[in-house]
């Protein structure tokens, strides 16, 4: 029997509708409109699409969105000056720096420059530390989106063995930390695998929940998946003119009990969680 397809578009649409209602209520009570400032450096086509989608989602939820487009030759100093200006602007509640950045700019320096109170991507060390301690100011957008999909699919996470493929600062590490916390879509036993992991397939076949976030097209094959596992595919890779995930979807859906598609799975959830963090940032101010 084929797996249940976890429809990220539909789940995200419901969440965005609720955020829109929450934004309207907050604005009516406070007279403040949540405001997200996005910074796009260079002319990478994929980044431009991502930013445009985020802006459209903000507009639909009643959140003000301002885009700062900078040329590809922008210096690190100029970018840091802009971030300092946005940090000091009381009308701006969230700051998003679209990655990747041009090679002349150090990403970590730039991300560290965003004040933690406006760090709606939850990349700053202060916010990551709070999240690890179980008292988050914001939650990282993609891992939080994954948790919401697990809830929507009715997945039993507490006590389950969750295996995360990938140890990136954006997805893999925070995903593992969030799954091991106490709470909804958490309380799991977590294994994080990476490029140096030995006997990888033996480990992934133990997973009740398998989350793939390594950036390798169709890497997870059916023989790597435990029958009945829930498979969440965070990857997005372009193969010829087609977008595919880290999971061999057609083969794995015949083994798993539930699976996310690419596109239309985790991606829409990431944007929805960004909107939630932006509203939270406005409320905190």
- Active-site annotation holds for 121: yes
Q: Which of 22, 121, 208, 248 is catalytic?
A: 121
Q: Which of 98, 147, 148, 181 is catalytic?
A: 98
Query: What's the per-residue H, E or C state across the chain?
Result: CCCEECCHHHHHHHHHHHHHHHHHHHHHHHCCCCEEEEEEECCCHHHHHHHHHHHHHHHHHCCEEEEEEECCCCCHHHHHHHHHHHHHCCCCCEEEECCCCCCCCCHHHHHHHCCHHHCCCCCCHHHHHHHHCCCCCCCCHHHHHHHHHHHHCCCCCCCCEEEEECCCCCCHHHHHHHHHCCCCCCCCEEEEECCCCCCHHHHHCCCCEEEECCCCCCCECHHHCCCCCEEEECCCEEECCEEECCECHHHHCCCCCEECCCCCCHHHHHHHHHHHHHHHHHHHC
Q: Which long-range contacts (CB under 8 A, 24 or more apart) does 181-187 make?
A: 181/134, 182/134, 184/147, 184/151, 185/147, 185/148, 185/150, 185/151, 185/155, 185/157, 186/147, 186/157, 186/158, 187/157, 187/158, 187/159
- Active-site annotation holds for 181: no
- Active-site annotation holds for 55: no
Q: Report the catalytic residues.
A: 54, 98, 121
């Amino acid at each position: 029997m084929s797996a249940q397809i976890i429809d990220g578009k539909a789940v995200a649409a419901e969440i965005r509708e609720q955020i829109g209602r929450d934004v309207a209520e907050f604005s009516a009570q406070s007279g403040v409109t949540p405001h997200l400032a996005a910074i796009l450096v260079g002319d990478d086509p994929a980044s431009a699409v991502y930013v445009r989608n985020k802006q459209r989602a903000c507009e639909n939820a009643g959140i003000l969105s301002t885009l700062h487009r900078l040329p590809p030759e922008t210096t690190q100093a100029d970018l840091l000056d802009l971030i300092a200006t946005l940090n000091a602007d009381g009308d701006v509640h969230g700051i998003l720096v679209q990655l990747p950045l041009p090679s002349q700019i150090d990403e970590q320096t730039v991300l560290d420059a965003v004040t933690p109170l406006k760090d709606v991507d939850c990349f700053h060390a202060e916010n990551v530390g709070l999240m690890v301690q179980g008292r988050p100011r914001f939650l990282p957008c993609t891992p939080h989106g994954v948790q919401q999909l697990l809830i929507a699919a009715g997945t039993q996470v507490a006590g389950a063995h969750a295996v995360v493929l990938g140890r990136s600062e954006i997805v893999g590490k925070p995903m593992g930390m969030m799954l091991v916390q106490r709470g909804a879509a958490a309380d799991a036993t977590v294994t994080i695998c990476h490029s140096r992991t030995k006997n990888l397939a033996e480990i992934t076949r133990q997973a009740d929940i398998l989350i793939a976030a390594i950036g390798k097209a169709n890497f997870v094959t059916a023989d790597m998946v435990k029958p009945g596992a829930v498979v969440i595919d965070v990857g997005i890779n372009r193969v010829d003119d087609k977008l595919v995930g880290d999971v061999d979807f057609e083969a794995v859906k015949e083994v798993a009990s539930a699976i996310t598609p690419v596109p239309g799975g985790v991606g829409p959830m990431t944007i929805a969680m960004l909107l939630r963090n932006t509203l939270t940032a406005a409320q905190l101010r």
